[in-house]
Amino acid sequence: MKEILLVEDDTSIATVVTAALDEEGFAVTHCTSIECRDAKLASQSFAVMLTDVMLEDGDGIETLAPVRERYPEMPVIILSAQNTLDTAVRATDTGAFEYFPKPFDLDELVRAVIQAAGSRSDQMPDISEAGDGLPLVGRSQAMQGVYRMITRVLRNDLTVLILGESGTGKELVAEAIHQLGHRKSGPFVAVNAAAIPADLIESELFGHEKGAFTGAIAQSIGKFEQANGGTLFLDEIGDMPIEAQTRLLRALQSGRIRRVGGRQEIDIDVRIVAATNRDLKPMIASGRFREDLFYRLAVVPVELPPLRERRDDIEALAKHFLKLATLEGLPQRQISSGALEMLEQQPWPGNVRELRNMMYRLILLARDDVIDRDGVVEVVGANTAPANETDDEGIAPALRKWLTRENPPSGTIYHSAQAAFERPLFEWALRETGGNQLKASRILGINRNTLRKRLVDLSIDPETFAQNS
């Protein structure tokens, strides 16, 4: 029986993880502090260690270096509620086998432990330097997959395709991959395929020789050569003309380019990160985008969520933009909770970019040091509901009726509404699955341990639905 050391000061999480690992035949030793961790490691050997970051007596990541030195063969899995890109990178810096932001999928964690216990070499790459100032902001569950994918490509040169709506921050992800990866000492060169005329894009990418075409009065070095040793970011790749796609594919396959009008093959050493806000599959079907180029670019796809799917991040983003604005010469402002609530209700079709522009406008127009609810209403208008929520049927009318009927006290509205919404939703999912929590969590698209916790909080007994199924 393999021994697992679990360093976790949250009793409920420790109980759930221990039970799940027990079912897989592991013997789990649990402790809640760094001091206890070190004592246990000194007294016995473990196949795997799982550790939280914020423990009773310190930071679980900061104190891992001596552990890694003394027990280099022991895989470490890091759990954290500090769900930022910085934390993900710090976890990677330790050489951790895997990193799981809370709340995590229990089944996925168990699989990682099984893999770690059976392999001592398949570890995450380490990062030589990481710190504050990382370009991405947000701790929502929707961003955790993005952070984890970023950490997986930092020590390799796999081609990355970033997918997401306009304004979601695709270039920031590309910059993070470059700045945190092993090519950070090289150049980061960005080119927007949609902003370059079709007849000039090949020259822009590959360069040209003097006299190659009318107006080519001198030799020009293209973006590929400019990015040599670093990263080339190809934004809006879906707008690239089909002829240029062919030359791009050839360059990616061969690792060499030829300037327009030139005869010499030039070796290139470039990491490619591409991005698009288009759905490329219909473009492939219609012949507007090469299928072989798509698969060459999408070795590692990273999908950025729209802002409407990460509303939990709006407060952090708004306050981040308040700080940025002062660096750009705008007045220093604060924002009230009422104003934040108004911002969280917006549909944000322009995503994070639209929120940034909105914050700058609010800062500029604010009459006081604090941006309040009225200030937001003045700029965005009182009607914040999306157009499709003004129909007679839908969630918005039901919510208004519930608020009128229940009239929850001020300060409790959010949690009361959340519970009122979750109860019928969870009961429906359990009814559909005969009380099977794993299937219900999959239908809902949430982690199983998250569902379990909420069922306990709401006093919903899954067995009731199993009996009635």
* CB 248 within 8 Å of CB 289: no
* CB 4 within 8 Å of CB 47: yes
37: CB partners within 8 A, 6+ apart: 5, 7, 31, 49, 51, 67
Chain centroid to CA 9: how far?
A: 26
* pTM given for the model: 0.61
* CB 245 within 8 Å of CB 206: no
Q: Distance between CA atoms of 173 and 274, rounded to whole angstroms? A: 10
Per-residue pLDDT tens digits of the chain, which is 469 residues long = 789 999 998 888 999 999 989 888 899 999 999 999 999 998 888 999 999 988 888 888 888 888 988 888 899 999 988 777 877 888 777 778 888 888 888 888 998 898 888 754 334 433 323 333 456 888 887 888 888 888 888 888 999 999 999 999 999 999 999 998 889 999 999 999 988 888 788 888 998 888 777 777 788 888 999 999 999 999 999 999 998 999 999 999 999 998 888 888 899 999 999 999 999 989 999 999 999 999 999 999 999 999 999 998 999 999 999 999 998 899 999 999 999 999 999 999 999 999 999 999 999 988 889 999 988 988 887 444 444 444 445 677 677 767 766 666 666 777 777 777 888 888 888 888 888 888 888 888 888 888 888 888 778 888 877 754 4
* CB 49 within 8 Å of CB 5: yes
* CB 61 within 8 Å of CB 53: yes
Q: Distance between CA atoms of 407 and 9, rounded to whole angstroms? A: 38
Number of alpha carbons in the 13 Å side-chain half-sphere of residue 272: 25
Tokens, residue 136: 């991405």
Query: Following DSSP, what letter does each residue of 317-341 receive, concatenated?
Result: HHHHHHHHHHHTTPPP-EE-HHHHH
* CB 431 within 8 Å of CB 460: no
Task: Report the pLDDT value the prediction gives residue 393, as an integer from 0 to 100.
Answer: 55
Tokens, residue 314: 């709006």
Local structure of residue 431 (DSSP, 8 states): H
Nearest to 106 by CA among 437, 461, 459, 462: 437
Q: For the chain, give the number of residues.
A: 469
Task: Report the pLDDT value the prediction gives residue 107, as an integer from 0 to 100.
Answer: 86
